[in-house]
Amino acid sequence: MELHVKREHFSSDEQHPNRARMLISCPDGPGIVAAVSRFLFDHGANIVQSDQYTIDPSGGMFFMRIEFDLPELERRMEQLQAEFGEIAGQFQMNWKIFNVSHKKKLAIFVSKEDHCLVELLWQWQAGDLDADIALVVSNHADMKEYVESFGIPYHHIPVTADTKAEAERRQLEVVGEDIDVIILARYMQIISPSFIEHYRNRIINIHHSFLPAFIGGNPYAQAYRRGVKIIGATAHYVTEELDGGPIIEQDVQRVSHGDDVGELKRIGRTIERVVLARAVKWHIEDRILVHQNKTVVFN
Amino acid sequence: MELHVKREHFSSDEQHPNRARMLISCPDGPGIVAAVSRFLFDHGANIVQSDQYTIDPSGGMFFMRIEFDLPELERRMEQLQAEFGEIAGQFQMNWKIFNVSHKKKLAIFVSKEDHCLVELLWQWQAGDLDADIALVVSNHADMKEYVESFGIPYHHIPVTADTKAEAERRQLEVVGEDIDVIILARYMQIISPSFIEHYRNRIINIHHSFLPAFIGGNPYAQAYRRGVKIIGATAHYVTEELDGGPIIEQDVQRVSHGDDVGELKRIGRTIERVVLARAVKWHIEDRILVHQNKTVVFN
Amino acid sequence: MELHVKREHFSSDEQHPNRARMLISCPDGPGIVAAVSRFLFDHGANIVQSDQYTIDPSGGMFFMRIEFDLPELERRMEQLQAEFGEIAGQFQMNWKIFNVSHKKKLAIFVSKEDHCLVELLWQWQAGDLDADIALVVSNHADMKEYVESFGIPYHHIPVTADTKAEAERRQLEVVGEDIDVIILARYMQIISPSFIEHYRNRIINIHHSFLPAFIGGNPYAQAYRRGVKIIGATAHYVTEELDGGPIIEQDVQRVSHGDDVGELKRIGRTIERVVLARAVKWHIEDRILVHQNKTVVFN
Amino acid sequence: MELHVKREHFSSDEQHPNRARMLISCPDGPGIVAAVSRFLFDHGANIVQSDQYTIDPSGGMFFMRIEFDLPELERRMEQLQAEFGEIAGQFQMNWKIFNVSHKKKLAIFVSKEDHCLVELLWQWQAGDLDADIALVVSNHADMKEYVESFGIPYHHIPVTADTKAEAERRQLEVVGEDIDVIILARYMQIISPSFIEHYRNRIINIHHSFLPAFIGGNPYAQAYRRGVKIIGATAHYVTEELDGGPIIEQDVQRVSHGDDVGELKRIGRTIERVVLARAVKWHIEDRILVHQNKTVVFN
């Protein structure tokens, strides 16, 4: 299967070699926008897109995402960050600046259900997912040949009750520190708190229900029993609380009394694929800020 | 306010004076459709619409809704029902036949929030709700003048912890046995089991969340805290379990991090209005069958 | 009918007495955001919300909406505008600053179908439409009593082929120059170019189809004939081209082969109500910028 | 890529070896349902699902879909059809009976855009598309290797203005008479009337707009220029009128002023995939009846 190598990728890299994104969150107060925009102007940057949100104008939190072009970005990035540090300190900012041409590195975890993995690979090879898929990790061997046909390393790390700790140690090893985000594409194992701690707000899970309804196992069977008229899927960052992390995206579809559990699963698979792919895209494009178990999504 | 009296009502009554609807549920088995359709044919009825659903063809439940025209329906109804009783017995049917020209009688219960009541009154006076609104009951006096301007009796029955039992006795009295369905149009009091028992599967509530998420009080505040990206409303029949009865209809709308609780309430009011009105319409048109805490809705 | 007078209106006026909104469109170029945010900071304003959009970063158009609080806004507005004029000239800006506490004045035009008018009045009296409904104009007398029961003047101006010019002259007279926006709430008369010229981008129409499908008369009949599976409604600014002006908002709902024209109309009425109300809300909140027959909506 | 061969297919064949579906359309009149259901009962069939629709009860058209189990279906099918012919003649029925275990044969036509083809292949290998994909035809060679990796024959038949007639002759040859339905999965060539005539109501096209808006070429560019707030896709049977055939299914998604043509295409690809897959599924499950350029879809 050679399909993916034939594609021409017009990545953001080639289109906008000097584009950067800045994410800021800090306590609200006067002068933040003026200071940031003045800083960028003084450095010769051109603001392409800017979004801002304040939870509560008097004493709440302020969130900002700025996309800008800066000539010779690659060479000047280090200095830019150093100089912005002064403004950041002044306003107690939590901040990051990303060079858009540095593609984010993804690790995808999967178990037996393959639809979310297949969707991400399809979007990636279609040029819609502007990132590098660095590796796939699975507790099963089923998808090995398929994944490797894309030239992507596949790590089969079985997990049992006894080997769980050891398995996570191996996962940490193959994933490494360099990965930007881990995607649980229907990975059916509980992640331990210590593993989560390594990748705080950098593990995205797709849960196959409209959270907070139907937490835990077999959500489609739960939905069928309750007789809901709409089912959904939820992409969220993983925290120590099962299915309780910050929600990134949700979507739903209407069902009827005539749809049995199998049909709900079939319909749900498409919702899951779409919702997870959107969440991953937004994460890759630095559109998501997390604050107190909730997300601010600038899209 | 005379708006409502100026409307010309083209109700189903005038359009289809001889139309009837039959609802059947029974254990599935061979020959049911043949027996029912033969019975109607032999009596000179013309089937206008027919819907059918079987949960599990081998040993499950069978549900059917038939709409048919029968000359001189009014005069022949009693005999028709008597004769159908034989077939019904043979197949252990739970069944009803409704004369469409006999409009269903509604009682609407409301507290302070008026949007659902206003919507039902508007749809009713626009001719979209083919029923008689027999009375409105409220634990507050606020809407009295408004409701009475439509010529509809308004019963102000205050409810406190101490007077709850007495209040329900008065409610039973004013509603009576003749009412087909009670609509809880944002009626913010818990209904007692004995009251529910009187109107089993005939009390429709609108809950302001996408059930089973956010059961109980302040669902919009719960939704805001959880950071969901979609909110919804649910119309269901009232049972002894709080917000746990058979779901009739649900709908949702996308929200964002920028919507505070007040905005969620504002958006939600329109979802609530639409969802409740649909559920009431389907009940009135005999489109809903209840089985084991779930609904079969033929629409 | 006294309902509306009993409501407590917590309008933006009382909540945010010093809040202003600024709308800007201009050719894109470096330094715009820095200049504007610096200007506001220097005047002691606190930016509450800011949205920005650039069609094409190299040489395209730049659009911005800023919501800010400025102490003693009322007293200082005139000077603020005078001083901002300098910056505006520098960047060739098309701009406006609105004092949020000055409520916008609406005129609603209606014919026989009343659902959109009823919705706007309901949202207004519920406190969801933060504006003054200054008057209602209709070519029919039907809604006079109803509208006047809200304390709103009702001008019955009949329109025939012969009296059209004269009727528009009277409409201009009663509407006046002081009105911020005219809402065609299912007003079934063509508006003349000279009338449109008076209120460029200030007349909102609701068209009962998903434009550009089904332009012109009887869109639901057209939709039924074409056998579409989804119907919609479109709110747009009125231009000289019939149903061709800048689209503000659209929404849709699924229908089936079983829905006849009457049912499409019934379903459509709710879509129309919701879509028009959203468009009016966004206009009132200064969220819409028009550029070359398209809208930028910051919401 | 071996993924597809590892799947276990639980097709309807194995689940319901004796299941049949009957599609009927005829002028409405009394006794149709009674006659059909009596016929099935007398032959020992058990009705599993039945849907019915009448356009206009007095003198309109009647449509029916029945799913039933009949012991030894395979052996008795011929006789069943012969005997049903008598009833059919009596009511002037247009009818068909399908043995569900005889899988439908699909031919997929594709050009350069591969997303719809990839989706159908994925759903097929996931067991969600209960049919045989007999062959793929394309005017380009791009997808040859990919399609053949599934074990499906790929016919590369180039089309130019000069060779169009000859190309269609070759297409007819490779498709043959045995194919149940042809799927135009973003096949960008106009089909000639004579080719359409061969496969009347058996060619499904996906058009990348919410028809009848944006007929013809570049619908996403048209949608961008018009500034619509919602885009969609439409699956329809192909007729001689360009993008004018009976609509099977449509779906939509909200877009904003910030989405350029490229983004509309990206969003649209997912809508196209989902809509086409639904339409194909319904065709395969015999859920669609065509009448006067419109579809009746029992789902």
Say yes or no for a CB contact (<8 Å) between B37 and D40: no
Higher pLDDT, C136 or A8: C136
Say yes or no for a CB contact (<8 Å) between A30 and C49: no
Average pLDDT of the residues in D58-79: 93
Residues of B marked active site are found at 243
Contact of C104 with C261, CB cutoff 8 Å: no
CB < 8 Å to B118, chain C: 122
Retrieve residue C70's tokens. Answer: 């400025």
User: What pLDDT score was predicted for residue A15?
Assistant: 74
Question: Chain D residue with minimal CA distance to B68?
Answer: D57
Alpha-carbon distance of D9 to C225, in angstroms, equals 41
- Helix runs in chain D, H state only: 3-6, 12-15, 32-42, 73-90, 115-125, 144-148, 164-175, 193-198, 219-226, 261-284
CB < 8 Å to B126, chain C: 115, 269
What mean pLDDT value characterizes chain A?
Answer: 92
CB < 8 Å to A270, chain D: 274
Say yes or no for a CB contact (<8 Å) between C297 and D230: no
Of the residues C22, C46, C56, the best mutation for testing chain A's interface (the one with the most A CB atoms within 10 Å of its CB) is C46
In tens, the pLDDT along A23-48 reads 999 999 888 999 999 999 999 998 88
Residues of A marked active site are found at 243
Say yes or no for a CB contact (<8 Å) between C3 and B143: yes
Average pLDDT of the residues in D108-112: 97
Exposed (0-12), middle (13-18) or buried (19+): which is A190, by Cβ within 10 Å? exposed
User: What pLDDT score was predicted for residue D57?
Assistant: 60
Distances (CA, A) of D174 to A171, D103, D111, D155, D280: 50, 19, 17, 8, 21
CB < 8 Å to B254, chain D: 254
Average pLDDT of the residues in A82-89: 96
Residue A1 has its nearest CB partner, among D126, D145, D269, at D145
Write out the residues of chain A at the interface with chain C, using a CB-CB cutoff of 8 A. 30-34, 37-38, 40-41, 44-54, 57, 69, 254
Say yes or no for a CB contact (<8 Å) between B44 and D30: yes
Looking at the predicted structure, is the pLDDT value of residue C170 above 50? yes
Higher pLDDT, C58 or A81: A81
Looking at the predicted structure, is the pLDDT value of residue C5 above 60? no
Looking at the predicted structure, is the pLDDT value of residue D11 above 80? no
Alpha-carbon distance of B117 to B110, in angstroms, equals 7
User: What pLDDT score was predicted for residue D6?
Assistant: 35
Residues of C marked active site are found at 243
Annotated catalytic residue D132? no
In tens, the pLDDT along A243-262 reads 999 999 999 999 999 999 99
Residue A3 has its nearest CB partner, among D128, D146, D270, at D146
How distant is the alpha carbon of residue B101 from its chain centre? 18
User: What pLDDT score was predicted for residue A6?
Assistant: 35
Say yes or no for a CB contact (<8 Å) between D145 and A266: no
Size of interface B-D (CB pairs under 8 A): 57
Looking at the predicted structure, is the pLDDT value of residue C10 above 50? no
Say yes or no for a CB contact (<8 Å) between C122 and B115: yes
Residue A49 has its nearest CB partner, among C30, C44, C52, at C52
User: What pLDDT score was predicted for residue D14?
Assistant: 57
Q: SS3 letters for chain A?
A: CCHHHHCCCCCHHHHCCCEEEEEEEEECCCCHHHHHHHHHHHCCCEEEEEEEEECCCCCCEEEEEEEEECCCHHHHHHHHHHHHHHHHHHCCCEEEEEECCCCEEEEEEECCCCHHHHHHHHHHHCCCCCEEEEEEEECCCCCHHHHHCCCCCEEECCCCCCCHHHHHHHHHHHHCCCCCEEEECCCCCCCCHHHHHHCCCCEEEEECCCCCCCCCCCHHHHHHHHCCCEEEEEEEECCCCCCCCCEEEEEEEECCCCCCHHHHHHHHHHHHHHHHHHHHHHHHCCCEEEECCEEEECC
User: What pLDDT score was predicted for residue C27?
Assistant: 95
Retrieve residue C33's tokens. Answer: 């955001």
Residue C38 has its nearest CB partner, among A34, A44, A54, at A34
CB < 8 Å to A54, chain C: 48-49
Alpha-carbon distance of A219 to D275, in angstroms, equals 25
Say yes or no for a CB contact (<8 Å) between D227 and C252: no
User: What pLDDT score was predicted for residue A133?
Assistant: 98
Residue D295 has its nearest CB partner, among C211, C212, C257, at C257
Question: Chain A residue with minimal CA distance to D128?
Answer: A266
In tens, the pLDDT along A47-58 reads 888 999 988 766
Of the residues B12, B26, B33, B298, the best mutation for testing chain D's interface (the one with the most D CB atoms within 10 Å of its CB) is B33
Size of interface B-C (CB pairs under 8 A): 36
In tens, the pLDDT along C94-119 reads 999 999 999 999 999 999 999 999 99
C49 — pLDDT class (breaks 50, 70, 90) = confident
Say yes or no for a CB contact (<8 Å) between C227 and D294: yes
Say yes or no for a CB contact (<8 Å) between A247 and B256: no
Average pLDDT of the residues in D56-74: 89
C57 — pLDDT class (breaks 50, 70, 90) = low
Residue C128 has its nearest CB partner, among B1, B126, B266, at B266
User: What pLDDT score was predicted for residue A237?
Assistant: 98
Looking at the predicted structure, is the pLDDT value of residue C3 above 80? no
CB < 8 Å to A69, chain C: 57
Location of structure tokens 């032999």: B42
In tens, the pLDDT along B205-262 reads 999 999 999 998 999 999 999 999 999 999 999 999 999 999 999 999 999 999 999 9
Say yes or no for a CB contact (<8 Å) between B210 and A211: no
User: What pLDDT score was predicted for residue A149?
Assistant: 93
CB < 8 Å to A251, chain B: 230
User: What pLDDT score was predicted for residue B29?
Assistant: 87
Say yes or no for a CB contact (<8 Å) between C294 and D227: yes
C56 — pLDDT class (breaks 50, 70, 90) = confident
Please pick, among D114, D130, D180, D243, the residue that the annotation labels catalytic: D243
Looking at the predicted structure, is the pLDDT value of residue C1 above 50? no
Looking at the predicted structure, is the pLDDT value of residue C14 above 90? no
Question: Chain C residue with minimal CA distance to B4?
Answer: C146
Size of interface A-D (CB pairs under 8 A): 36
> Partners for A (CB, 8 Å, 3+ pairs)?
B, C, D
- Of A126, A147, A144, nearest to A3 (Cα)? A126
User: What pLDDT score was predicted for residue D111?
Assistant: 97
Which parts of chain B sit beneath pLDDT 70? 1-14, 57-59
Contact of C60 with C54, CB cutoff 8 Å: yes
CB < 8 Å to D47, chain B: 32-33, 52
Domains plus CATH for chain B?
17-99 (3.30.70.260), 104-297 (3.40.50.170)
Residue A115 has its nearest CB partner, among D114, D126, D270, at D126
In tens, the pLDDT along D176-220 reads 999 999 999 999 999 999 999 999 999 999 999 999 999 989 999
In tens, the pLDDT along A132-155 reads 999 999 999 999 999 999 999 999
User: What pLDDT score was predicted for residue A58?
Assistant: 64
Distances (CA, A) of B109 to B114, B128, B201, D135: 10, 20, 16, 62
Say yes or no for a CB contact (<8 Å) between D2 and A266: no
Exposed (0-12), middle (13-18) or buried (19+): which is D175, by Cβ within 10 Å? buried
CB < 8 Å to A46, chain C: 30, 57
- What order of strands is seen across the sheet that includes strand B203-207? B154-156, B131-138, B104-110, B181-184, B203-207, B230-237, B247-254
